[in-house]
Amino acid sequence: MLALPVFEASDIRPLLSIAALIGPMRQVFIDLSEGRVQAPIAVLHPTDKSDIHVKSAVIENVPYFTVKMAGWSEVLADQGLPASSGLIAVFDSSTCKPLAILRDDHVISDFRTAAAGAVATDLLARPNSKRILITGTGTQAYLQAQAVLTVRDISEVLLWGRNAEKVARLRERLLHEHPALSIRSCTELETAVRQVDIVVTATAARNPILQGKWLVPGQHVMSVGADDTTKQELDINCFRRANVVAVDAVDAAHVYGNLHNSGYLTECGEGSIAELGQIISQKRNGRKSDDDITIASLVGLGVQDLATVAVISGKLGF
């Protein structure tokens, strides 16, 4: 009996890019909205400083399905160590037999989240957007900056975070890769928000860091950090002010993230939000004018992991 192949993060990382995943992410959002997907989610909290997301996914006519277990630890983050870990199990859709273990240490989740951010930003942000604000200092803050730079001709990047040393490290990392960009750190969040075209929140905040009263006409807000029942990056007034509120999946928004935790869905109902797939397919409206405020609040779905695995499976040999 052949041993089940196990692929490490070092095998997987070189195969991933945000640009290569944008097309597959667009398609998977359409598949989701048109009912061709199964994507159950379970979020567990082993301690008050850790969480693990169990996300499985099936897509019609894809020859395999996936079950992901992705953890995050504040204890590791406080020690300056990589806070994320995890693996993805891949199974044959016909026989349900396991095909491979991808011990990716969250790198697939990281890149597919960034690609989803790129899809949402390209769909909703003004085409002439030039200035962005990144809130957060971790891996996803870095990747979301790269995602916006992939789909918009950005001239200035503002950075904000609670830890000045981490902000400085993120700035140096981005400057090393984009030396022609103006990249500066900010201490006053409200002032920074009012200066930009695109606001990205990529934090683990349990209380809102972005207030709706700070938003200005024409902005796009991209929130990717609030992905469970405890986290909230945007206050309810952000959504009250928005002309478009987009999510990855309505069902997930009822349980996790900003829209659930702020009480907005209880107040306004799911008719006030649209799935990205519906906007891509033009079944729901996106941005109508340069003055619209648009928000994409994403919790992350297992089908995004599966779509990413489908992109790299041939190179991994299964």
Burial class (CB within 10 angstroms; exposed 0-12, middle 13-18, buried 19+) of 79: exposed
Using alpha carbons, list the distances in angstroms from residue 261 to 2, 206, 223, 266, 277: 47, 9, 14, 10, 23
Model confidence pLDDT, tens digit, residues 270-288 = 999 999 999 999 999 999 9
Using alpha carbons, list the distances in angstroms from residue 206 to 71, 209, 243: 17, 9, 25
pLDDT at 2 over 80: no
Percent of the chain scoring above 70 in pLDDT: 99
pLDDT at 81: 84
All domains of the chain in start order, with CATH: 6-108+303-316 (3.30.1780.10), 118-301 (3.40.50.720)
pTM score, two decimals?
0.94
The residue-averaged pLDDT of 7-19 equals 97
The residue-averaged pLDDT of 80-101 equals 92
User: Across 60-207, where does the E strand assignment appear?
Assistant: 64-73, 84-92, 98-103, 131-135, 156-160, 182-185, 198-201
Which two three-digit tokens encode residue 214? 């700070």
**Spatial separation of the C-alpha atoms in residues 128 and 53, rounded to whole Å:** 36
pLDDT at 85: 87
Q: Poorest-confidence range of 37-51, 104-118, 141-155, 253-267? A: 37-51
Model confidence pLDDT, tens digit, residues 52-84 = 999 999 999 999 999 999 988 989 888 888 888
Handedness of CA 104, 106, 112, 115 (dihedral sign): negative
Model confidence pLDDT, tens digit, residues 201-221 = 999 999 999 999 999 999 999
pLDDT at 18 over 60: yes
pLDDT at 227 over 60: yes
pLDDT at 96: 96
> Which of 188, 184, 186, 189 minimizes the C-alpha distance to 208?
189
pLDDT at 1 over 70: no
pLDDT at 115 over 90: yes
pLDDT at 123: 98
> Which of 112, 168, 110 minimizes the C-alpha distance to 137?
168
Question: What's the pLDDT band for 198 if we cut at 50, 70, 90?
Answer: very high
